[in-house]
Amino acid sequence: MTQLDVLPPVEYDLNYLPPSATLPHVPAPPACDSVPIDVSVPGLPPLFHGHPDLHMNNGIISANHAGSTGEEDSEKAFFVADLSQVWRQHQRWKRALPDVEPFYAVKCNPDPYVLRLLKALGTGFDCASQGEISQVLSIGVDASRIIFANPCKPASFIRHAAKSDVALMTFDNTDELHKVARLYPGAKLVVRILTDDSSSLCRLGVKFGAPLADVPRLLACARGLNLNVVGVSFHVGSGCSDPNAFQDAIMRAHRAFAFGREAGYQFTLLDVGGGFEDLTFERSARAISDALAHYFPKSERESAGIRVIAEPGRFYVSTAFNLACNIIARRVREGDDEALDDDNETPRVMYYINDGVYGSFNCILFDHQVVYPHVLTVNGSFVSSTTASADLELCSVWGPTCDGIDCVSPVTRLPRALEVGDWLGFRNMGAYTICAASQFNGFKTSDVVYTSGVGVDSAAVRRALVSTD
């Protein structure tokens, strides 16, 4: 075998737009009073069609109108979800990794429309709890398309999995094996191994994954308990920026397969986990494909009946959701404010918006994200790219709660003409945002407006969703 090519690590500032002297702005199409509904699903909000920026504009117009009539909570923040972007990401996955089955990480964004669309597209589902399993089963997903990818599960969750015939589940310790032997002896177990996750935003190895040296002991325990271990899984960490991490992990998985043979098992599953970033996806896919060809050649996988699956989450949904927030207050620090520095690098203007780190921006605290606002309106009017970049000043953006840590953007540049009542937008807000939002201080979580997008992609989304009902 030849040495695998090592790809240089990529450096970038997450998957958000970088700060610059001129604000990023995508001109939106004009708003209209009526947008046709594409699909109506009982119990779910309507699904419209049309460009997502059109729906962003319409949402702002509706909010401003409601405010003028005195309607309560009229300026509430809201998402626009473009389901055609989820569809496009799936096509992108199939092109780059045709031999790897995606099992969507439900924890990333358990949105009901997203789940229904991915079900129609044929993905599997990575579930971490009884609640996620129940949600996926409730939309008609077959239990065989679920992996219970939590190595440390409550006993009641294992019993629920057994009753629901969700047999595929992970483990990384002997206590879990004894628990499964008692509660679900027919489970199909997958040993989760420890990998190098040092290049990831969220390092999961501190909590999960058995070191390779422990794998023979775990397999011996499983054999002694007459349990069926069917494969190996790993996770390079959420938001992995170095594609080489997948190559190293697949090499370790190859060794774990050898340990399985020594223990009397014939593994038939390799789960390469998650960690897929939008900006580096093709490079990660190439690294995975090269490593699979090296350690698990396709001919050997086919003869041994080995499936390769993955657990993408943010890759599917991050770029599909954008957020609009209203400026609810503005504070200008005076010259004698003790918080101001002499070098004029401390923002003097503070904008307060109606979503924050206890809501959709919890990703800043828990997912290590950095977000950048762009301007949607100035003085109540929709902006052009010229207006959005004119006469900028240093400022900071804060959430609505009483907590001092509720800071969305500590330093950014926004137009000096912004006023209370104007709107800011935030792109790429689909991953680990809505799902972890709380109602701290009594602030409600932000609503979602859904669109199937435009053109042939929109038609594909509609057909897929109709086929699920």
Residues with a known catalytic role: 402
The Cα 387–Cα 23 span in angstroms is 10
The Cα 286–Cα 283 span in angstroms is 5
Instruction: Tell me if 100 sits within 8 A of 272, measured CB to CB.
Output: yes
The pair of structure tokens assigned to 304 is 């041994």
Residue with tokens 């996770």: 235
Torsion sign (Cα): 23, 28, 32, 35: negative
Instruction: Tell me if 208 sits within 8 A of 168, measured CB to CB.
Output: no
Closest to 297 (Cα-Cα) out of 254, 261, 267: 254
Task: DSSP for 252-266, please give it.
Answer: HHHHHHHHHHHTT--
Residue with tokens 């008609």: 140
Closest to 190 (Cα-Cα) out of 297, 265, 139: 265
The pair of structure tokens assigned to 434 is 């809505």
Any alpha helices (H) in 164-198, and if so which ranges? 174-183
User: Is residue 202 within a helix (H) or strand (E), and if so which, with residue range?
Assistant: strand 200-202
The Cα 158–Cα 188 span in angstroms is 12
Angle between helices 281-295 and 83-96 (to 10 degrees): 30
The Cα 166–Cα 188 span in angstroms is 9
Q: What 3-state DSSP class applies to 327? A: strand
